[in-house]
Amino acid sequence: MEGVIIENIKKLLDSIKRPVRLMEVCGTHTVAIFRHGIRKLLPEKILLISGPGCPVCVTSVEDVEIAMAIARKEDIIFTTFGDMMRVPGIEKNLSEVRAEGADIRVVYSPMDALRIALDNKDKKVVFFATGFETTSPSVAGTLFEADKLKVDNFYIYSAHKLVPPALDALLGSGEVNVDGFILPGHVSTIIGSRPYEFIAEKYRKPSVITGFDAEDILQGINMLLEQIVSNKAEVEIQYKKVVREEGNPKAVELMNEYFELCDVYWRGIGTIPLSGLRLREKFRHRDISSIIKIDISFASGPQEPQGCSCGEILRGLKTPDQCPLFGCACTPESPVGACMVSTEGSCAAYYKYGDFNG
């Protein structure tokens, strides 16, 4: 079946008669494309570039610095997903702060953090709430459980971000030269396809929500090329076994009940209006920022590591191997930029699966 799809892709490319640039927004897609060897299967006229779809990668230096400041407090147990432990701040990361004595614990879900709060009622237990629309409903559900069980010592620090506003910002900047988008599967199980309609209506770019198997991704690319050949711009769903046009209304309702939109800074990209989530006023008692004083300041705004091209990579302006630090000063064992930390990061995927590591 995959061979048939590839042959059809070649025929469509012959009709287009020019190179085609497609952005896979999701970090999981970046890894899947490498793991399945899809870049090597496709004709050279198709260039797949990575976008800002790795939540670890786009967590700002400021958020990491605030997280470390919270974790250093004596009465705090700070909980986080494991891939956030090595995301660089200005000089240190959470792993190094834990080595200095802070009580920082890796959890697999916010409910794990809630259980820690139940077992440690003499401490304030904080969950570092990171991720896109995929994780924010589970955080909202955990907050519901915390209120239901009257767990008064459970808090979050929200660094949640939203995918559609980031794509709007990238396209609106005029910097990003792409012919279409491979849209994220996991995020879209929550929000559906409707929030992406501006991509077609405002920017006239085709997009397809795609699954993660090799056949899913190749079908998605084929669907994008068919739109380009037909001069269409639509939001299509290839991943129909999981994603519906309306998404998961209950998850979205829960997310919207607890969170409201806010402007947030994306590492390497800048502040994107209404692209983040903060707790609504009625739930602000669960926001650790409103409970304790956090002393943190930046002389000239959030600072990125010198020489790191993470911002350009997240905006699709560079590939990881075009960064001067890639594979030498910056490796998965000793990451300089956030894109080399997470398994979903473009640099980590290029390093692990590409032909670039020595």
* Residue 343: count of CB within 10 angstroms of its CB: 14
pLDDT for res 303: 67
Q: What is the pTM of this model?
A: 0.92
* Residue segments in the chain with a per-residue pLDDT below the cut of 70: 298-303, 355-358
Q: What is the pLDDT of residues 180-220, one digit of tens each?
A: 999 999 999 999 999 999 999 999 999 999 999 999 999 99
What is the number of domains present in the chain?
A: 2
Same domain, 235 and 343: no
State the virtual CA torsion across 65, 311, 42, 163 in degrees, nearest 10.
Answer: 60
Same domain, 181 and 227: yes
In a domain, residue 358? The reply is: no
Label the pairing between strands 180-183 and 207-209: parallel
- What is the per-residue pLDDT for 32? 93
Residue 192 has φ and ψ, to the nearest 5°, of 75, -160
Q: Do residues 266 and 349 both lie within one domain?
A: no
Question: Are 42 and 78 found together in one domain?
Answer: yes
- Per-residue pLDDT of 79-113, as tens digits, reads 999 999 999 888 899 999 999 999 999 999 999 99
Is 324 in the same domain as 197?
A: no
Q: What is the CATH number of the domain that holds 217?
A: 3.40.50.11740
Residue 53 resides in a domain: yes
Residue 164 lies in a domain: yes
Per-residue pLDDT, 357: 43
In a domain, 168, yes or no: yes
- Say yes or no: 198 and 296 in one domain: yes
Asked whether 178 and 49 are in contact (CB, 8 A), the reply is yes
Residue 304 has a pLDDT of 73
In this structure, the answer to whether residues 296 and 343 fall within a common structural domain is: no
Q: Are residues 147 and 118 in the same domain?
A: yes
Together in a domain, 276 and 337: no
Indicate if 177 and 256 belong to the same structural domain: yes
Rounded Cα gap, residues 346 and 28, in angstroms: 9
Give the pLDDT score at 353: 87
Residue 322 covered by a domain: yes
Asked if 25 and 121 sit in the same domain, the reply is: yes
Residue 132 lies in a domain: yes
In terms of domains, do 57 and 185 share one?
yes
Specify if 315 maps to a domain. Answer: yes
| Residue 312 Cα to chain centre, angstroms | 15
Domain that holds residue 337: 310-353
Q: What are phi and psi of 27, to 5 degrees?
A: -65, -35
